[in-house]
Amino acid sequence: MSEIHEDYIIEIENVSKTFTGGVEAVRGFSAKIRRQEVVVIMGPSGSGKSTLLRCINGLETAESGAIVVDGIRLDGDKRRRLEIRKEVGMVFQSFNLFPHLTVLENVNLAQRRVRKKNKASATERSLELLQMVGIADKANSYPAQLSGGQQQRVAIARALALAPKVMLFDEPTSALDPEMINEVLDVMKKLARSGMTMVVVTHEMGFAREVSDWVIFMDDGQIVETGAPESIFARPQEERTRRFLNQIL
Amino acid sequence: MLHTKAKFRAIDAVLLLLCLAAGAYIYYRIQYGLEYKGSWAAIPQFLLRYDPETGRWAANYLLQGLITTLKLSLWATLPALLVGLFVALCRTSETLFLRMVGASYVELVRNLPPLVLIFIFYFFVIDQIMPLLGVETFIRALPTGAQGVITFLFAEKSLFVQFISGIITLAFFEGAYMAEIIRGGIESIERGQHEAAYALGLSWVDEMRFVVMPQVIKRVLPALANEFINTIKYSSIASIVSIQELTFMGRQVVVATRYIFETWITVAVLYMALTLSLSLVTEQLEKRLQASD
Ligand SMILES: Nc1ncnc2c1ncn2[C@@H]1O[C@H](COP(=O)(O)OP(=O)(O)OP(=O)(O)O)[C@@H](O)[C@H]1O
Ligand SMILES: [Mg+2]
């Protein structure tokens, strides 16, 4: 990767990650993601989806291969790593809101401390974001007072607060009661339509069909198959993909 | 956990009677079996004493001792908390060296008898650290007004260096226990909290300050309050190096009066009054914190 490809915001080349204990979670994974693309990653449990996602913002350190985000190479250098952390927002399966802070404080925190904004301008942006995810009225509540769906929407707003260029979602709806899944997916769809680059680990076929540009099917730490959602769901080329799709349908 | 209510049964009555009988027997042995003549009437004057000069009641040895115990424990707790916080951060750090430093300190303190530790450490502090800090010169140079404040907050001028050494020794000792409590709190914070802080680009300091520590404090506050009660109990070993706290004063009174039982029972009651009331406060605190979750 000698030259920087301007139109690719994420470049993953031959990335491998082995955990201490010998589990090869990701094995020689390569993918390039363009600006404003929405990519859905699917695959059976333990296939390395979370690990791959976490390698992109440096939560896990890949032991070989290269990851470049918006022209910044993720390596041992702390300052470059911090740049990437600021440019990549992440939403977790278990929300991970800060329970001792109100909704507003959760969304304000990084703006204040990382972007060094003053309270008024941080709050202004936070309220806009909370408006966008539809819970501005809960700004002064604590996370424990919210439903799962509401918490996850706060988590999305919090991740957006630093105006990241990329958003990573790790099974954002799989800890939610069925009736709350859609309120979160709706926010994500809105975000996708606004032009955000998104990498989403999810088994929500409807979401994948509606907003994703392409789908990566993973197994055993590797890509089994990639393609546009219509084609990969309708005509999977690989036996493993077919078996998996039959299971989740 | 199953909450079964305690019931009073026949067996409880029997056991209670046995305990009362044992108590009566011990009392009888002390009264008639021992070559010992005590008197309760002599004790109150060692708590409060009437000063004919000022015409007021003033705290005497035992009550003064209790106050010194409280001062010693309070002052020792502040540096112990700082040491505890620092060592807890060392022990949870990614740097192996810091972890080893923290672990060595904690293991050293926890695996030595406190009395031995205080002998070694106290004389080291008195001999080396106090002159280094210039405490003695500092206290001598103070104007009289300030000395009154110092006496009120710490101890009289002549005992000040000793008192400060006692504080440092006790803090050194308690710091290890505080460290373990705080470390437990830090380690109890879910991994997801750290990951969220990381993903938001927070620095380590900010993560600790705004995300981890506020939650840790809430979780460990009852345990720390409890450790303060332990500090009060441990502070009695400071009597061995002539700091005039409650146990030291108890010994003085015994030497003067020979009323061993009366004096030590009074000392025990004074300690209990302090620790039990603090226990109650701790319990309330715990309930309050639980309710706020
Ligand atoms: N911190 C870790 N230490 C050791 N092994 C790990 C660790 N995290 C994940 N693994 C292992 O790596 C493999 C891939 O895990 P990963 O969480 O990436 O899978 P996944 O595709 O996200 O699965 P799921 O759908 O269950 O979330 C699994 O075998 C898992 O047990
Ligand atoms: Mg996963």
State residue B156's pLDDT score: 81
Q: Taking a C-beta distance cutoff of 8 angstroms, is the pair A16, A26 a contact?
A: yes
Q: Distance (Å, rounded) from C-alpha B243 to C-alpha B257?
A: 20
Q: Which residue of A has its CA nearest to B190?
A: A96
Chain B hits for A161, Cβ within 8 Å: 200
Is B271 within a domain?
A: yes
Is B117 within a domain?
A: yes
ipTM of the complex: 0.93
State residue B107's pLDDT score: 96
Is B21 within a domain?
A: no
Phi, psi of A13 (to 5 degrees): -125, 115
Does B1 have pLDDT greater than 80?
Answer: no
- Measured from the Cβ of residue B115, the count of other Cβ atoms closer than 10 Å reads 9
Is B171 within a domain?
A: yes
From the list B199, B214, B293, the residue facing A59 with the nearest CB is B199
From the list A59, A96, A100, the residue facing B215 with the nearest CB is A100
State whether the Cα torsion B199-B203-B205-B210 is positive or negative. Answer: negative
* Eight-class DSSP state of B143: -
Of ligand 1's atoms, which has the minimum distance to the CA of residue A60? 1
Residues 157-186 of A with CB under 8 A from B: 158-159, 161-162
* pLDDT tens per residue, range B209-246: 999 999 999 999 999 999 999 999 999 998 888 888 99
3-state secondary structure of A140: coil
With tokens 């680059």, the residue in question is A197
Q: Distance (Å, rounded) from C-alpha B80 to C-alpha B86?
A: 10
Q: Taking a C-beta distance cutoff of 8 angstroms, is the pair A103, A140 a contact?
A: yes
User: Which of B198, B200, B205 best tests the A interface by mutation, with the highest count of A CBs <10 A?
Assistant: B200
Average pLDDT, chain A: 94
Does A1 have pLDDT greater than 50?
Answer: no
Ligand 1 center–CA A208 separation, angstroms:
22
Cβ of A50 less than 6 Å from ligand 1: yes
Q: Distance (Å, rounded) from C-alpha A215 to C-alpha A201?
A: 10
State whether the Cα torsion B126-B128-B129-B133 is positive or negative. Answer: positive
Ligand 1 center–CA B151 separation, angstroms:
62
Does B47 have pLDDT greater than 90?
Answer: no
Cβ of A49 less than 6 Å from ligand 1: yes
Average pLDDT, chain B: 90
Is B283 within a domain?
A: yes
Is B85 within a domain?
A: yes
| Chain B contact for A114 (CB, 8 A cutoff) | yes
State residue B227's pLDDT score: 94
* Distance in Å, alpha carbon of B156 to nearest chain A alpha carbon: 44
Contact yes or no for B201 and A82 at CB 8 A: yes
* Tokens representing residue A88 in the block: 């990549």
Q: Distance (Å, rounded) from C-alpha B245 to C-alpha A82?
A: 54
Across the beta sheet with A38-42, the strand order is A88-91, A166-170, A197-201, A38-42, A214-219, A222-227
Does B44 have pLDDT greater than 90?
Answer: no
State residue A2's pLDDT score: 44
* A31-45, B56-70, B208-222: range with lowest mean pLDDT: B56-70
State residue A238's pLDDT score: 93
Q: What is the mean pLDDT of residues B263-283?
A: 94
* Tokens representing residue B216 in the block: 């840790």
Does A3 have pLDDT greater than 60?
Answer: no
* A41-50, A51-60, A147-156, B141-150: range with lowest mean pLDDT: B141-150
State residue A6's pLDDT score: 66
Does B293 have pLDDT greater than 70?
Answer: no
State residue B36's pLDDT score: 74
Q: Which CATH number fits the domain that encloses residue B49?
A: 1.10.3720.10
Residues of chain B in Cβ contact (below 8 Å) with chain A? 190, 192-193, 195-196, 198-203, 206, 210-211, 214-215, 218, 293
Question: What is the domain range of residue B269?
Answer: 45-292
* pLDDT tens per residue, range A61-115: 999 999 999 999 998 888 999 999 999 999 999 999 999 999 999 999 999 999 9
- Of chain B, the percentage scoring pLDDT greater than 70 comes to 98
| All residues at 6 or more sequence positions from B247 whose CB lies less than 8 Å from its CB, including other chains | B65, B69, B236, B239, B267
- Of chain A, the percentage scoring pLDDT greater than 90 comes to 93
Does A7 have pLDDT greater than 90?
Answer: no
User: C-alpha angle A102/A107/A108, rounded to 5°?
Assistant: 90
Q: Distance (Å, rounded) from C-alpha B60 to C-alpha B273?
A: 17
* A165-179, B63-77, B158-172, B261-275: range with lowest mean pLDDT: B158-172
Residue bearing the bigger pLDDT, B139 or B203: B203
- Of chain A, the percentage scoring pLDDT greater than 70 comes to 98
Of ligand 1's atoms, which has the minimum distance to the CA of residue A93? 27
Q: Taking a C-beta distance cutoff of 8 angstroms, is the pair A217, A225 a contact?
A: yes
Does A184 have pLDDT greater than 50?
Answer: yes
State residue B2's pLDDT score: 61
Phi, psi of B268 (to 5 degrees): -60, -45
The CA-atom distances, in angstroms, between A47 and each of A61, A207, A219 are 17, 21, 5
Is B30 within a domain?
A: no
With tokens 């390039």, the residue in question is A32
Is B51 within a domain?
A: yes
Tell me how many domains chain B contains: 1
* Distance in Å, alpha carbon of B288 to nearest chain A alpha carbon: 15
Cβ of A61 less than 6 Å from ligand 1: no
* Tokens representing residue B214 in the block: 């506020």
- Is the entire prediction scored with pTM above 0.90? no
- Measured from the Cβ of residue A61, the count of other Cβ atoms closer than 10 Å reads 13
